[in-house]
Amino acid sequence: MHRLRNLMLAACVALVAVAPVSAHASKVEKSERLVNLHDLKTTVAIGDYYLKQESLLAARAYLYRLGRERGLGPQWTPSNPYWQQAQAQMLHSLTQQVQREYSSMEWLSEQWSALNNAELSEPEMDALLVHFSSEMGRKQVMIVDHSVAFHVVSTLTMSGKLQENLPGSEAERTRMQALYTSEDEAMRFDPNDSPEATRFALSPVGKKYFVNAVLKVSGMVSQRLFRLAGELPARADALAPEVDSMVEAFRRARSG
C-alpha cells in the first residue's frame, strides 16, 4: 500500500509538471519546446567537417596567390613554418565565424520554430509534446535527428562537396564519423515491441512532422552550408591584415 501511494504521488507530480505547459504555454513557446527536444550534434559535426575543408581550401588558395603577387619565391609553400603560421591564423578566424553562423545552430532554432508555428496547429503541438515525452517518443526524436544528418551528408556527398581525405580536416572527419555511428546505434528499436511508435509514425501529425523536420530542416541546413562555403574565399581574402606580420617575418628570414 505504501509503495502504491508513492507511485500515485509520483504520477501526480509528473502530471502537474506537464499540464501547465499544455494549458498555459503559448503556441510559440510550444514550437520552441519542440525544437529544443532535438539534438543535431551529428549534423553540426557534418557541417563543421565540410566548412573546415572549405576554409582550408580558401586559406591555401589565398596564400598561394599571395606568394605569386608579392614574389615570395619557391620557399613560400605549405611546408614553410611562416606559411603554416599564416594558415593557422586564417583558420582560427574563419572557424570563429563558422561557429557563430553555423555551429551554434541559433539561426536554425529560429527558422525551425517558425516552421512549426506556421505548419502545425496547437493541438498537433500538444500531441507531439506528449508523445515525445515517452520512451518511444524520445527514440523517434533521435530518428528525426539522424535522418536530418543523413540527408545533409547525402546532399554534400552527391553534389561532390565533400573531399575524402583533405589534409588538415582529419579531426573533424573522425568526430563526424564517430557521432554518426553512435547516433545510428542509439536510435534503433524493434517496431514489433512498440506499436505506439508505429501508430505515431503512420498518423497524419507524425507524417507531417517527419516531412517538415527531415526534408525542410535538412534543406535549411544545406542551404546555409552552401552559402557559407561560397563566402569563404572572400572572407579569407579579407583576412590579409592578419597575416601580414607572418609574411614580413618570412621576408626577413629569407633575406637574413
Residue 201 lies in a domain: yes
Separation of alpha carbons 222 and 107, rounded Å:
13
Residue 10 lies in a domain: no
pLDDT in tens, 2-28: 333 343 333 333 333 333 444 457 999
Residue 23 lies in a domain: no
Print pLDDT tens along the chain (256 aa): 333 334 333 333 333 333 344 445 799 999 999 999 999 999 999 999 999 999 999 999 999 999 999 999 999 999 999 999 999 999 999 999 999 999 999 999 999 999 999 999 999 999 999 999 998 999 999 999 999 999 999 999 999 999 888 999 999 999 999 999 999 999 887 777 778 888 888 999 999 999 988 999 999 999 999 999 999 999 999 999 999 999 999 999 988 6
Residue 136 lies in a domain: yes
Residue 27 lies in a domain: no
69-105: string of b/e by CB count within 10 Å (b at 16+)?
eeebeeebeeebebbebbbebbbebbeebbeeebeeb
Task: Give the percent of the chain with pLDDT over 90.
Answer: 79
Long-range contacts of 18-21 (CB under 8 A, 24+ apart): 18/130, 18/133, 21/129
Look up residue 251 and give its three cell numbers: 621576408
| Count of structural domains, the chain | 1
Residue 5 lies in a domain: no
Coil, strand, or helix at residue 169? Answer: coil
Judge whether 56 and 137 are in contact, CB under 8 Å.
no
Q: Which domain holds residue 232?
A: 40-255
Residue 35 lies in a domain: no
Residue 87 lies in a domain: yes
Judge whether 109 and 35 are in contact, CB under 8 Å.
yes
Separation of alpha carbons 114 and 72, rounded Å:
51
